[in-house]
Each structure stands twice: as structure tokens, then as C-alpha cells.
Amino acid sequence: MTAAGTPGGLAPALKALGLSGMLGTIDARLAEARAGTLGHAEFLQVLCEDELARRDAAKVTRRIRAARFPAPDATLESFDWGYNPKLPAAAIRDLARLEFITAGEGILAYGPVGVGKSHLAAALGHQACRRGHDVAFTTCSRLLAHLAGGHADRSFEARVRKLAKATVLICDDFAMREFTAAQADDLYELLTERIGRPGRSLILTSNRSPSDWYPLFPNAVVGESILDRVLNTSHHLLLEGKSYRPRRRPGQHKPAMTTRRRLRRRSPLKEAAARQAGGRAAQGYGAGPSSQSVTAAAGQRAQAESAR
């Protein structure tokens, strides 16, 4: 028996059965059972629930790690909604219910730099991971390079199939520059495997308006085929406002120096001069002379005049 009263051979047995999640709470559950708050069946039930909770948490952690989000703390809870009041907060919160995934719809988030497009896209991805969906986060440049590498080792179709399986594919910084003919073709092959299929969603972020994407494709027919699918199956979010990044500039949040700290930084000579100046100021601006001192001064002046 352990100090907490747990049978010594129980921990190895639970680990062998893959039930190590029970080990973290079994002592507390045993205490509840001994106190009479848990019956035998309830004791077993809560232990199983503890194990399920541990497994669910582990799955969420694995999905978030596999998604490769740029920042692990980019969630809806950490987003500063008050910084840019113009953001469509109500629409974003509606999308956070993730009904667009079931419907096979996408999201286009576009606007100036620094307003939080990447953060919100990743936050919706986090939400999807918590709900049990597989998510893949990448930038447009990395995505195109990944697809191009498939032509070199003849794994292009396998790569497209893997990307097509992800429940949510997030492509950040879409349409930053002009596409080559090969890139446009690769993008077309991937998107035709995903767009419009229930349970599959595409999230794009861009600094350009969707109307400015068309000239970026060298082949107008391919560009029209891609954008017709993307634009007409997605929710459009125009994100406007100030950039968040100036707030993160080094040195922008140094605490103001207090009077006490300024006095501490004075040299001894400056402190002595300050004290002398304060003394002179007190003499010059203190209480006026008393009536006795005035009378004495007048008498002295009168004596001096009579002596002359």
C-alpha cells in the first residue's frame, strides 16, 4: 500500500492497460469512497471519466501540435477585441460555432497588415482542434513550395491527398505576389479536391481584396476557375483598423520614471544644490516678517539718522 492507501501493484497494472490517466486522481477518488460520498459503481465511473478527460485533452494537444500554428496562444480568448472596434466581432463569433465546416464553406479574411487576420484564422483553427477536427496551418508560399516538391520526387498526388484530408486548411498570406503558371495549376488541383465538400473547409487570409486577386494569375481561365470556387463558397470578412504590431515594438512600454526614482539618480552635488535652492525658496516665499522685527528695524534706522 502507498502512503495514500493505494495498492502498490495498481499503478503498474493501470499503465499496462493504458489507463495511466486514473493515477492522477485515484487517491482523491479513494478518499471520497472511504468518506462514503462514492459508491462502488460511482467510484469506477468517475475513474473512467477521469481517464476519458485525460485522453480528450491529449488528443487536443496532439491536434494543435500537428496543425503547426504560428503562435500557441493565438486563440479567440487572447484576442484584443477592443483595440479595433471596426472588426466584425459578431460575425467572427458566429463562425466560431464552426457550422461552416459541416456545410463545406470557407472563410476569406482580408484587410491591411497587422489587424489580426492571422491570429483570428489560427484562433478558429484552435477552436476546430478542440472540437475534434484535424487542422493544417501554412503560409501560401510554403504551401506552393510543398506542392512543387511533389513534382520532383513524384509524390505530388500523395501530397494533394494528404492536404485534402485535413478538415480545415488555413492558408495565410494568400495572394502576396503573382503566381507562376505551375503554381496556379498546383493550386487548382488542390482546391478542386477540397472546395464545396461537406466537412472540408478552407480559410484564406490576404492583404489584398479578393477583387485584386484575378491579375495575379498568368492564365485567366485557371484564375477564374480557382476564384469562382473560392469566392462563391466562402464567408467574406473585411478586417479594418490599426495595426497591433506597433504596440509590440521594443521600448514602447517602459514604465514612466517617478519623482523618487529621478531623485535617486541625482549626483550628490546636484542633491546639495537642490537642497540649497529649496532653502532659498523657503526663505523667499515663507511667512512674512513679524511686527516686532519691523519695529526693531525702524528704530535702528532712526538712531542712525540722529547720529548724523
Residue 172, beta-bridge partner list: 139
Rounded Cα gap, residues 223 and 185, in angstroms: 9
Q: Is the overall model pTM greater than 0.85, yes or no? A: no
Helices H / strands E in the chain, number of each: 13, 5
The pLDDT value recorded for residue 196 is 84
Which string of b and e fits 261-295 if b means at least 16 CB within 10 Å?
Answer: eeeeeeeeeeeeeeeeeeeeeeeeeeeeeeeeeee
Q: Cell match 535702528: residue?
A: 300
Q: Tell me: the pLDDT tens digits for 20-65?
A: 778 888 888 888 888 888 888 888 888 888 888 888 999 999 999 9
The pLDDT value recorded for residue 264 is 52
217: enclosing H helix or E strand: none
Rounded Cα gap, residues 87 and 74, in angstroms: 17
Rounded Cα gap, residues 31 and 216, in angstroms: 67
Amino acid letter for position 145: A
Which residue from 117, 300, 73 is spatially nearest to 205, judged by alpha carbons? 117
CB-neighbour burial class of residue 302 (10 A; exposed 0-12, middle 13-18, buried 19+): exposed
Domains and CATH numbers, the chain: 10-64 (no CATH), 89-248 (3.40.50.300)
The pLDDT value recorded for residue 291 is 45
Tens of pLDDT along the chain (308 residues)?
454 455 667 888 888 888 877 888 888 888 888 888 888 888 888 888 888 888 899 999 999 999 999 988 899 999 999 999 999 999 999 999 999 999 999 999 999 999 999 999 999 999 999 999 999 999 999 999 999 999 999 999 999 999 999 999 999 999 999 999 999 999 999 999 999 899 999 999 999 999 999 999 999 999 999 999 999 999 999 999 999 888 777 876 554 444 445 445 555 555 555 556 555 444 444 444 444 444 454 455 545 555 44
Rounded Cα gap, residues 48 and 41, in angstroms: 11
Q: Are 273 and 146 in contact (CB under 8 A)?
A: no
Number of C-beta neighbours around residue 210 at 10 A: 18
Which residue from 149, 88, 155 is spatially nearest to 120, judged by alpha carbons? 88
For every residue of 81-109, DSSP letters joined together read TTT-TTS-HHHHHHHTT-HHHHTT-EEEE
Angle between helices 140-152 and 181-194 (to 10 degrees): 100
Q: Hey, what's the cell of 99? A: 457550422
Which string of b and e fits 147-182 if b means at least 16 CB within 10 Å?
Answer: beeeeeeeebeebbeebbebbbbbbbbbbeeebeee
Amino acid letter for position 225: S
